[in-house]
A and B are shown apart, each in its own frame.
Chain A
Amino acid sequence: MDINQRVDMFDAVESNKRKTWLLLIIFSAFVFMVGYAAGYLLGSGVFGLIIAGVILGIQLIILFTKGDELILKMNNAKELPRDDTNYIYNLVESVSLAAGMSKPPKVYIIEDDSLNAFATGRKPEKSAIALTRGIINKLDREELEGVIAHEISHVVNYDILISTTAIILVGVVSLLAGFLRRRLFWSSMRGGGRGQSRGRGNNNSQAIIMLGSIVVIILAPLFAQILNFAISRKREYLADANGAILTRNPKALAGALRKISGDTEVFRSANEATENLYISKPLKKDTDVSKKQRRNQRSNLFSTHPPITDRIKRLESM
C-alpha cells in the first residue's frame, strides 16, 4: 500500500467534474432530440423542443437543489441524528477525517435486512452515506468501517456528483420515452389521418423521420442505462483501493464484501434507477432472477460492478 496512490484520488476529482459537464451536455442534446421527435409526431417539432426544455430545466433545478434528498427518499433512507455515543456515527466521522474532509457526510439508515450501502450528494460538504439495517447488524466494527471508507472514497472522488447527476437525468429520459411510447401506440391505432392532413407528396420523408423517431424512442432507455453503467465500473475498484488506504485495513473490506456476496436477503426497496449507486448490485425481487444473478456473477457490458470475487482478490493482495 502506497499512500501516493491517493494522488489518483485527487486527480479523479477534476476528471469527474469534467465528465459531469459532458454528461449534462450530451444528455441535454439527447433530451432535445427526443423532445423534437415527440413533437414531430404530435404535429409540431418546436413545441416538443419547448416541452423538452421545460422538463430539462425542472430536472436541473431539482438536481442542483435537492438531488441527493430525492435519491435518499426514493430509497426510503432515514437520517441518523449526529450523536458521538453512536459507533456508526463515530466510524463515519473518523474515516472522513482520515480522508481530510472538512465536514463528515450525513448518515442515513435504510430499514432493510439486506446488506448494502451507497453515497450521494453533489459535493463532499453536502454528502450523505446510506447504510441498510442489515449491513449494520451483520458486519463487525472493522468491516463496517471498510464499507464506510469505500463510500467515503466515492464522496471525496466526486463519484457522487456524476452518479447523482446521471440518476436524475436518466429519470428524465425514461419519463419521456415512456410517454412517447404510449403516444405512438395511440396514434398508430388511429391510423394515418394526421399525415394526410399535413400535406401531400412527402409521405416518404415523413416515414423516414417517423422511423428515426421510433429508433430514438427505443434507444432512449437503453442509451441511458449504458451511460449509467459506463460511469461506474472502474470506480468500484478505485473506491475499494482508496477505502483500504484510508483505513489501512484491506482485509476488513474484503471480509465485508465476502459477507455481502454471501447474503441471500433480497433488497426490497431496490429501485431500478438508483441501483448502480450501491456497493453491491441489489438483487431483484423475483427470486429466480436473483438466484441466476448470484450464480453467474461474471462481468459483461451491462454490469455496473465488477465481480465481487475479483474485488476481494485485489484487496487481499494489497
Chain B
Amino acid sequence: MEYIIIIGFFAVIILLFVGKYNRLVTLRNRGKNAWSQIDVRLQQRNDLIPNLVNTVKGYAKHESQTLERVIQARNQLMAAQGEENVKEAAKAENHLQSTLKSLFALRESYPDLKANTNFLDLQEKLKGMEDKLASVRQYYSDSVTRYNTEIEKFPANLIASMLGFEPMELFEVENEEVRKAPKVEFE
C-alpha cells in the first residue's frame, strides 16, 4: 500500500515536471519564432524602398538629392543590420524614417505624383509594411516578457535553472525607439 502511495506521488511530480517543461519550451520557441519574423519583415520593407524611389523619380527629376538620401539611408540600415549592430541599426532606422518623410513631402510640390495610383499604392504598401513590422516587434516583446516572467516563477524557475532556460533579451531600454517601432505618419 505504501509503495503505491509513494509511486503515485512520484508519478504526479514527474507529470507536473513534464508539463511545466513543455510549456517553457513552447514559450521559448514562440519568442525565437517572433525574432525571425522581424528579420523577414525588415527585409520586405527594405526591398520595397527602391521601388518607391523609382516611381517618384519619374515625376520629380529635380529632387535627385532627396531620392539619393533615401537610398543611402536604406543602405546604411541594411549594413548595420548585417553586422547586427543594434545601436547603429536603431540610428539608421530613424534616419531612414526622416528621409522617407521628406520623400513623401514631395507630393505637395508635384500634384501629378499625388494623383498617381502607382505612387498611392506604394505609399499604402509601405505604410502597411511599417505597421506589420511594428506588430511583429510588439509580438516579440510580448512573447519574451511572458517567457521571462514564466521562468522566474516558482516552481518553473527550478526547472529553468536546472535545464538551462536563459532569459531572452528584450530590446534594450536605450533602444526604446526601436522597440516602440516608430509609428510612421506619411500623411
A and B are partners in one complex rather than unrelated chains:
yes
List residues of A whose CB falls within 8 A of some B CB.
Answer: 3-4, 6-7, 84-87, 89-91, 93-95, 97-100, 248
Check B98 for interface membership: any CB of A closer than 8 A. Answer: no
Choose from A90, A97, A98, A100 the contact partner of B124 (Cβ within 8 Å).
Answer: A90
Which partner residue on chain B sits nearest A95 by CB separation?
A: B135
Choose from A4, A6, A86, A97 the contact partner of B135 (Cβ within 8 Å).
Answer: A97
Which partner residue on chain A sits nearest B140 by CB separation?
A: A100
Residues of B within 8 A of A91 (CB): 131
List residues of B whose CB falls within 8 A of some A CB.
Answer: 30, 34, 37, 120-122, 124-125, 127-129, 131-132, 134-136, 138-139, 142-143, 145-146, 149
Complex Cα gap A3–B125 (Å): 29
- Is the Cβ of A98 less than 8 Å from the Cβ of B138? yes
16 A-B pairs with C-beta separation under 8 A: A3-B142, A3-B145, A6-B142, A84-B125, A85-B120, A85-B121, A85-B122, A89-B128, A90-B127, A90-B131, A94-B128, A94-B132, A97-B132, A98-B135, A100-B34, A100-B142
Residues of B within 8 A of A90 (CB): 124-125, 127-128, 131-132
Complex Cα gap A93–B143 (Å): 18
In angstroms, how far is the closest chain A Cβ from the Cβ of B184? 12
In angstroms, how far is the closest chain A Cβ from the Cβ of B176? 14
Residues of A within 8 A of B146 (CB): 3-4, 6-7
Which partner residue on chain A sits nearest B143 by CB separation?
A: A100
In angstroms, how far is the closest chain B Cβ from the Cβ of A111? 22
Complex Cα gap A90–B123 (Å): 12
Which partner residue on chain B sits nearest A89 by CB separation?
A: B128
- Is the Cβ of A100 less than 8 Å from the Cβ of B139? yes
In angstroms, how far is the closest chain B Cβ from the Cβ of A96? 8
- Is the Cβ of B128 less than 8 Å from the Cβ of A84? yes
Residues of A within 8 A of B34 (CB): 100
Complex Cα gap A94–B134 (Å): 8
User: Top 3 closest A-B pairs, CB basis?
Assistant: A90-B128, A98-B135, A85-B121
- Is the Cβ of B124 less than 8 Å from the Cβ of A86? yes
- Is the Cβ of A87 less than 8 Å from the Cβ of B139? no
Residues of B within 8 A of A97 (CB): 37, 132, 135-136, 139
In angstroms, how far is the closest chain B Cβ from the Cβ of A252? 12
Which partner residue on chain A sits nearest B117 by CB separation?
A: A85
Residues of A within 8 A of B142 (CB): 3, 6, 100
- Is the Cβ of A94 less than 8 Å from the Cβ of B131? yes
- Is the Cβ of A93 less than 8 Å from the Cβ of B128? yes
Residues of A within 8 A of B120 (CB): 85
Choose from B30, B121, B128, B132 the contact partner of A100 (Cβ within 8 Å).
Answer: B30
Residues of B within 8 A of A4 (CB): 145-146, 149
In angstroms, how far is the closest chain A Cβ from the Cβ of B148? 11
Residues of A within 8 A of B129 (CB): 84
Complex Cα gap A37–B145 (Å): 56
Most B CB atoms within 10 A — which of A7, A85, A87? A85
In angstroms, how far is the closest chain A Cβ from the Cβ of B52? 12
Which partner residue on chain B sits nearest A3 by CB separation?
A: B142
Residues of B within 8 A of A86 (CB): 124
Residues of A within 8 A of B149 (CB): 4
- Is the Cβ of B138 less than 8 Å from the Cβ of A248? yes
